Amino acid sequence: GFIEEYLSIFVAYFQKKKVDNPMAEALLLGSMLDGIMFGMVMAPGMYPLDDIIQLMIKKFG
């Protein structure tokens, strides 16, 4: 299904980056994306999306 597909893409990305636990990093990234989407829905005018994007790039880029 969809979750397995996007999770496998994230796992492959973290495997290429040679992180210690690609699956855990992939799950963390997926959870963060879920939270970002939730925040945007719940507080669309107040959510600091640009700042969040920059933090995600620093962490996962």
Where exactly are the structural domains of the chain? 2-60
Q: pLDDT value at position 32?
A: 94
Provide the pLDDT confidence category of residue 61 given band limits of 50, 70 and 90.
Answer: confident
Q: Which residues contact 36 (CB under 8 A, 6 or more apart)?
A: 49, 52, 56
pLDDT over 90 (residue 2): no
CA 36-41-45 angle, 5° bins: 95
Query: Can you tell me the distance from the alpha carbon of 53 to that of 37, in angstroms, rounded to the nearest whole number?
Result: 12
> Does an H or E element contain 12, and which?
helix 2-16
Q: pLDDT value at position 10?
A: 96
Q: pLDDT value at position 8?
A: 96
Average pLDDT over residues 42-61: 93
Are the CB atoms for 29 and 60 separated by under 8 Å? yes
pLDDT tens figures, 6-41: 899 999 999 999 999 999 999 999 999 999 999 999
